[in-house]
């Protein structure tokens, strides 16, 4: 499961069980549907309010995965939301964006036209079809141009839905993962990476258990590892992190058991990945910049473990309790700790 949640935004009528959006929800529990109160004849303001509440309600950053009328919804939300809200969104996958002013747009929905034609404040990808009955290719390209989106056009894909033959849609999933794993821009760096002093304060808060739990994201985990590994050899750093993570968990009211809390295999995997990355950085780089580099690379890549492990294996009590080597054993990233 990714550290970046995906908010699934269906279009009119909701997405049925065979739709690619529903397939993705079943595939990855970090994909969560935003359930609207009215699916067939919605008011735009109601949908915007519901989306805003969903974004606020997710602790981590999100990628918006919109289909059909939900694509104009994203644009309407973006122009109405505050910059603080914008920072919660890491990107948007906008598939088959409907044209509310087009000749085939159904009656019932209100307020979606005109669609805001302004640059979106986060990365985005527009996926359109050459024969979508609800938007012309010219209009879809115009959306992409003004929204600042990368444009992908599929040949003869209809409305990119079940009727057009789109079930799991692995090519679309790859686009979602692209948005999830894109390097973190400098303007989205957390406040604890602003200076050497704030980094020291972060480490102190982590060690004494006072660092806010809502900020204890995957990015904070890898940043902590990079800061400790910067001046500590891997075996000793690993022992320090084992003790500190367990202490932090209990300080925040959690428990370290066979089903929750500290996870030995994931910790060793990420210590290896971070150590390997630090070894490639140029000599003379400061600790702060080294940690920032690691954060840029890995803060949005919590799913990296899938390169070596099945998710079910990492859920096991054995993997949480002790180091479980991948099968087959691989080297490269994380190879530093892939030996028993």
Averaged confidence pLDDT in the chain: 90
Full-prediction pTM beyond 0.85? Answer: no
Higher pLDDT, 80 or 338: 80
**Position 23 confidence tier, pLDDT thresholds 50, 70, 90:** very high
**Position 338 confidence tier, pLDDT thresholds 50, 70, 90:** very low
* pLDDT tops 80 at residue 109: yes
* pLDDT tops 70 at residue 3: no
Half-sphere exposure of 303 (CA within 13 A, CB side): 17
Give me the mean pLDDT over the 46-58 stretch: 94
* pLDDT tops 90 at residue 309: no
Query: What is the per-residue pLDDT for 10?
Result: 98
* pLDDT tops 80 at residue 7: yes
Cis check for the bond before 114: say yes or no (omega within 30 of 0). yes
Query: What is the per-residue pLDDT for 4?
Result: 76
Query: What is the per-residue pLDDT for 153?
Result: 98
Query: What is the per-residue pLDDT for 337?
Result: 45
Higher pLDDT, 332 or 278: 278
Query: What is the per-residue pLDDT for 326?
Result: 78
Query: What is the per-residue pLDDT for 187?
Result: 62
Query: What is the per-residue pLDDT for 327?
Result: 63
Give me the mean pLDDT over the 191-196 stretch: 90
* pLDDT tops 90 at residue 126: yes
Beta strand residue intervals within the chain, DSSP E: 5-9, 31-33, 62-67, 89-95, 124-129, 150-154
- Residues 148-162 have pLDDT tens digits of 999 999 999 999 999
Give me the mean pLDDT over the 227-238 stretch: 94
Higher pLDDT, 216 or 60: 216
The 3-state DSSP class for residue 170 equals helix
> Domains in the chain, start-ordered, CATH in brackets?
5-181 (3.40.50.1820), 189-337 (no CATH)
The 3-state DSSP class for residue 309 equals coil
- Residues 76-103 have pLDDT tens digits of 999 999 866 887 888 999 999 999 999 9
Give me the mean pLDDT over the 94-115 stretch: 97
Question: How much of the chain exceeds pLDDT 90, in percent?
Answer: 70
Report CA-CA distances (Å) from 296 to 84, 90, 223. Answer: 20, 13, 10
Query: What is the per-residue pLDDT for 334?
Result: 43
Structure token pair of residue 136: 């012309």
Instruction: List, in sequence order, the alpha helices (H) in 167-255.
Output: 170-181, 196-208, 218-229, 234-251
156: left (phi over 0), alpha (psi -120 to 50) or beta: left
Give me the mean pLDDT over the 54-70 stretch: 91
Higher pLDDT, 267 or 310: 267
Give me the mean pLDDT over the 179-208 stretch: 86
> Which DSSP category does 110 fall into?
B
Give me the mean pLDDT over the 37-63 stretch: 93
Give me the mean pLDDT over the 186-192 stretch: 76
d(CA 241, CA 16): 45
* pLDDT tops 90 at residue 308: no
d(CA 336, CA 3): 24
* pLDDT tops 70 at residue 212: yes
């Amino acid at each position: 499961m990714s550290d970046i949640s995906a908010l699934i935004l269906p279009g009119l009528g909701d997405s049925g069980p065979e739709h690619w959006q529903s397939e993705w929800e079943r595939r990855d529990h970090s994909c969560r549907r935003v359930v609207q109160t009215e699916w067939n004849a919605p008011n735009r303001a109601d949908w915007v309010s519901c989306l805003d509440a969903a974004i606020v309600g997710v602790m981590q950053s999100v990628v918006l995965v919109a289909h059909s009328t939900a694509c104009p919804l994203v644009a309407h939300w973006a122009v109405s939301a505050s910059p603080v809200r914008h920072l919660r969104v890491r990107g948007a996958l906008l598939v088959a964006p409907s044209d509310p002013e087009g000749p085939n747009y159904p009656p019932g929905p209100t307020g979606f036209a005109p669609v805001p034609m302004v640059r979106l404040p986060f990365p985005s990808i527009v996926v359109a079809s050459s024969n979508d009955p609800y938007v012309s290719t010219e209009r879809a390209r115009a959306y992409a141009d003004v929204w600042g989106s990368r444009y992908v056009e599929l040949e003869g894909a209809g409305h990119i839905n079940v009727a057009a033959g789109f079930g799991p849609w692995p090519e679309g999933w790859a686009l979602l993962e692209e948005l999830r794993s894109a390097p973190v821009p400098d303007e989205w760096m957390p406040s604890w990476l602003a200076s050497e002093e704030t980094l020291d304060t972060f480490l102190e808060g982590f060690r004494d258990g006072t660092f806010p739990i809502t900020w204890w994201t995957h990015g904070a985990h890898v940043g902590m590892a990079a800061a400790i590994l910067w001046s500590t050899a891997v075996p000793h750093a690993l022992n320090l992190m084992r003790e500190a993570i367990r202490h932090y968990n209990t300080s925040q009211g959690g428990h370290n058991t066979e089903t929750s809390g500290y996870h030995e295999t994931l910790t060793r995997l990420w210590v290896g990945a971070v150590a390997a990355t630090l070894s490639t950085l140029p000599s003379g780089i400061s600790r702060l910049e080294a940690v920032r580099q690691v954060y840029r690379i890995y803060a949005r890549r919590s799913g990296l473990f899938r390169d070596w492990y099945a998710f079910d294996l990492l859920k096991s009590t054995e993997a949480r309790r002790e180091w479980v080597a991948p099968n087959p054993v691989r080297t490269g990233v994380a190879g530093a700790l892939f030996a028993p």
